[in-house]
Structure 1
Amino acid sequence: MAKTKHRFNNCESLNRLIDEYFERSKNDTGKNAEPVTLTGLAIFLGFTSKEVFDQYEQIVKYKESLMRARFRIMAYYESRLHFPSPSGAIFALKSMGWDEKVKDTRSGAKPQSLTVKVIETGPKPASAEKEVAL
C-alpha cells in the first residue's frame, strides 16, 4: 500500500475528523453551505489519491468508518435528487455505484415475457380521407 500522510492514528480520531468534515460544510442554519464530496473528505483526511482512500477503506479497522462516511455523502447526493436539475447528483451517485436498472435478485429466474393482444373495437379506421363522413 502506498504511504500517505493521513491525519488520524486510530478509529476514534478518524471518526472525529469525519464528523468535523461534515460539520465544517454546514452554515449557521445547519444546512449544507458547501457540498460534501468524497474527494473533499479524502483531502480533509490527508489522503493524496482516491486509490489510497479506497485501499484504506478495505483495512478492517477503518472500513466501517470510511464506508459510513461514503454513505453519508451518498445521502447528501440522494437528497439533491429532489431539487430542480438533479443531473449532477445522478452522475455522482452513478459514479458511486448506483444503477438505474432494476436487478432481479431471484435465483435462477428466467426473464418474463408479456403478451399483448390488440382488440379492435368501434368502427374500422378510414383508409382515405374521402371515406370519412362528416
Structure 2
Amino acid sequence: MANIGRPRVFQNPGELESGLNDYLQHCEDSGEPKTITGLCLFLGLSSRAALDDYAGRDGFGDAVARCKLAVEHGYELRLHGDGASSGAVFALKNFGWSDRRELDHQSSDGSHRPPAAQVVVTEADIQSILDRL
C-alpha cells in the first residue's frame, strides 16, 4: 500500500531531539523566548497539533514531552525575572499549572461524606455506665 499524506519531518526520535537542541541553542543565542509555536516553526512543523501527533508515534512520546518541558521551563524562569510575568502565568496555566489552592472534599469512597465512625463498646463499658446510674 502506498504511503498517503505528508512525509514525516522526523524519521526517528533522535532527529526530533536534535531539532529541539538546535532550537534551544537558537533561543539562547538570539534571546528569543522559548514558545511552543516558535519550536514548531523552527522544526518545520505546520501546527502545534503536528507536534502532538508525534507524541502518539512509537518512540516519540518522550522526545515530545521533553520539547514541551523545555518550553515550560522557559516560562517558569520568567516568573523569577524582573518585569511583568503575567504572560508566563497565562502560558503556564495552559500547561496545567494553577495559581489557586484546590481542595478535594471528596472522600476515598467517592462521596462527600466523612467515613462513618466505628464505636466499640465492651460489656465492661456497659457495666460501668450501669453502675453509675
Q: Quick check: TM above 0.5?
A: yes
Deviation at 1:3, TM superposition (A): 4.2
Confirm whether residue 98 of structure 1 aligns to residue 97 of structure 2.
yes
Match of 2:127 in 1: none
Distance 1:55-1:105 versus aligned 2 partners, 3 A rule? farther
Counting aligned pairs with the same residue, the percent is 29
Using the size of structure 2 for normalisation, the TM-score is 0.67
Alignment of 1:116-131 (within 5 A): none
Distance 1:3-1:50 versus aligned 2 partners, 3 A rule? farther
Deviation at 1:72, TM superposition (A): 1.0
Matches of 2:74 and 2:47 in 1, distance apart?
Answer: 22
| Larger RCO (alpha carbons 8 Å, 6+ apart) | 1
Matches of 2:5 and 2:98 in 1, distance apart?
Answer: 33
Instruction: Indicate the structure with greater helix content.
Output: 2
Match of 2:64 in 1: 66
Matches of 2:77 and 2:67 in 1, distance apart?
Answer: 16
Match of 2:130 in 1: none
Alignment of 1:1-134 (within 5 A): 3-27=5-29, 33-83=31-81, 84-104=83-103, 108=107
Query: Between Structure 1 and Structure 2, whose CA radius of gyration is higher?
Result: 2
Q: Contact 1:74–1:93 (CA<8 Å) still a contact in 2?
A: yes
Aligned residue-pair number: 107
- For 2:88, the aligned partner's letter is A
Q: Alignment partner of 1:88: what SS?
A: helix
Unaligned 5+ segments in structure 1 are 112-134
Matches of 2:106 and 2:63 in 1, distance apart?
Answer: 32
Matches of 2:68 and 2:105 in 1, distance apart?
Answer: 28
Distance 1:35-1:74 versus aligned 2 partners, 3 A rule? same
Q: Deviations over 1:68-90 (max 9, x none)?
A: 11011111100100122100100
Unaligned 5+ segments in structure 2 are 114-133
Q: Contact 1:39–1:50 (CA<8 Å) still a contact in 2?
A: yes
Using the size of structure 1 for normalisation, the TM-score is 0.67
Q: CA RMSD in A?
A: 2.7
Distance 1:105-1:22 versus aligned 2 partners, 3 A rule? farther
